[in-house]
Amino acid sequence: MDKTVRFAFTFIFIILMSVSVQAQSFDFERLEKEFVRYSVIIDMNIEYSFGIHNNEQSERYLGTVVSEDGLVMFNGTSLSSENSIAAMTGVNVKSSAKSITVTFFDGKEYTADFIGADRFTNIGFLRLNSDDEKFPFIKFRSGNNLKVGDWVSLYMLMPEFINPQYSADIGMVSSIIETPENFHLIVGFNALQMTSVIFDGNLNPIGVLGRLNDPSQSTIDPSGMLDSFNSFGMPLLGIITADRLEKMIADPPQKGKSDRGWLGITLQALTKEMAEFWRLDLEGGIIVNDIVNNSPAFKSGLQVGDILYKVNDQPVTVSKEEEISIFQRKIAEMGPGASVEFSVIRNNEELIDSLKLIAVLEDSPMTATDAPEYDNTELEFKAREMVFADFLFNNLDDETFTGVVVSELKSGGLAQIEGLEIGDIIQRVGDATIENIDDLETVLTEAYDDKQDEIIFFIWRNQKTLFVNIKTEW
């Protein structure tokens, strides 16, 4: 046998033996008893809505009870409210839980309500429906001291036809990543085990399995379906730590409610070439290109052209355009109400001043997916309130322009046949100005009650105004 081949087989054998030895060192019998106390199976019917298409399907998840009042954590990727398509096209890409059944491993069943999903980790939360019952729950251990080469374990959910419904697995810490965030990278696990609780060698629950996202992709792939893959097509999986989880458990994200801080600027990176041109001894920074009127940035005194080089006395090291989302995420995760100190360089004619400004972050603008919606069953379409992204994308003035956005059309429905399109902004119906969905509902209800033969919609589409005449079939 060739020496190289013989060496390869020897190496693989050693690795397999080390895995076997490590697996034997975990007390899985004791760990299993703890696991089944606070773990549940979640059966969920989810309705997916994309423009004129609707689909409902069943999903199963492994969940973990994280509080005695029945708060449950699970992989909420399918129910995340973040999607870029809605902001860029007006198409309301939505997913909603129609029914949820939660089953403990001792057979007890409960219904539950979906609360929300964290936009950065896609960890979802739901709450069990019970009459003041107290549930056993997991207690995470903060401050893990894992090193490269340390082994960890988790349990994963198995297919329905298998009994028992769970299986143990082990992985190894392969790297401790420092940028774009501190992250213990683990090999041996896969994306199907996302949000499974991770235990260290002493069987302490130290976090859950999550992915390392590329922040430069977060604005075009907020779901995280693409940006966690490296050049080999492998997801970068590791530990979402107990410290981070405890903040979410104490204040779970809620669907329709903002949990992100907002500054209100458009920006670009301070590149190495720019810093050299301006003779700035900086590793990076943020250049303010524009400021939203009455935003936290506006109120703080920031000006167009300012360079932000520190946040709360920590250097801003953004020196490439693809790193901008690192800064955006940092601001967002501070949350609304956070007071942030910016160290700023301002060019005043021939002088360069350095100053400090305080901004109090506000709630981030509502997303298209979370916007209130009106469903007109007679004309077979839905419309939603306009959100910040609509004004920004269409270059519209939010102080003078009003309307509602067509978010869904029934395929072959009357509104679609007569010419309404998804993304149209309805500004007027007949002689009535439409400022919100309540106005639209009022006007269309009157049209139905009066059995009007036709309804004329005044709409904004592709930077111009159009009329759409719908002949009714009451």
- Is residue 329 located within the same domain as residue 245? no
Could you give phi then psi for residue 252, rounded to 5 degrees?
A: -60, 145
**Do 92 and 239 lie in a common domain?**
yes
Instruction: Note whether residue 222 is domain-resident.
Output: yes
Same domain, 105 and 237: yes
Q: Which pLDDT score is estimated for 85? A: 46
Angle 455-456-461 from CA coordinates, rounded to 5°: 135
Last residue of a domain, which of 339, 363, 387? Answer: 363
Answer yes or no: is 20 within a domain: no
Domain assignment present for residue 443? The answer is: yes
CATH number at residue 100: 2.40.10.120
Does one domain contain both 272 and 403?
no
* Last residue within a domain, chosen from 338, 363, 388: 363
Residue 13 resides in a domain: no
Q: pLDDT truncated to tens, each residue of the chain (474 aa)?
A: 555 545 444 544 444 444 444 554 789 999 999 999 999 999 999 988 776 677 889 999 999 999 999 999 999 988 875 544 444 444 556 788 999 999 999 999 999 999 999 878 899 999 999 988 999 999 999 877 899 999 999 999 999 999 999 999 999 999 998 877 789 999 999 989 999 999 999 999 999 999 987 655 544 434 343 343 344 456 789 999 999 999 899 989 887 676 789 999 999 999 999 999 989 999 999 999 999 888 999 999 999 999 999 999 999 999 988 788 789 888 988 889 999 999 999 987 666 788 999 999 998 888 787 788 999 999 999 999 999 889 988 889 888 999 999 998 988 999 999 999 999 999 999 999 999 999 999 999 999 999 999 999 999 999 999 999 999 987
Residues 155 and 302 in one domain: no
Is residue 100 a part of any domain in this protein? Answer: yes
Same-domain pairing of 212 and 250: yes
252 and 293 housed in the same domain? no
Give the DSSP H or E segment for 16.
Answer: helix 3-25
pLDDT at 325: 79
Q: Is residue 102 part of a domain?
A: yes
Domain co-membership, 384 together with 344: no
* Same domain, residue pair 180 and 302: no
The reply to whether 173 falls in a domain is yes
CATH number at residue 382: 2.30.42.10
What span, in angstroms and rounded, lies between the C-alpha atoms of 407 and 404?
Answer: 9
Q: Which residue has the tokens 């809605």?
A: 86
Q: Is residue 116 part of a domain?
A: yes
Whether residue 430 is found in the same domain as residue 403: yes
Q: Which residues contact 230 (CB under 8 A, 6 or more apart)?
A: 236
DSSP 244: H
Boundary residue ending a domain (335, 363, 391): 363
Encoded amino acid at 252, one letter:
P
Tell which residue, 98, 92, 95, has the closest CA to residue 375: 92
Owning domain of residue 299: 261-363
The pair of structure tokens assigned to 390 is 């609509």
> What distances in angstroms separate CA 47 from CA 54, 121, 208, 276, one per listed residue?
7, 22, 27, 53
Residue among 430, 338, 414, 342 nearest 377 (CA) = 414
Question: Is residue 209 helix, strand or coil?
Answer: strand
Same domain, 74 and 194: yes
Q: Per the structure, how many domains does the chain have?
A: 3
Give the Cα separation of 356 and 154 in Å (integer): 47
Same domain, 282 and 173: no
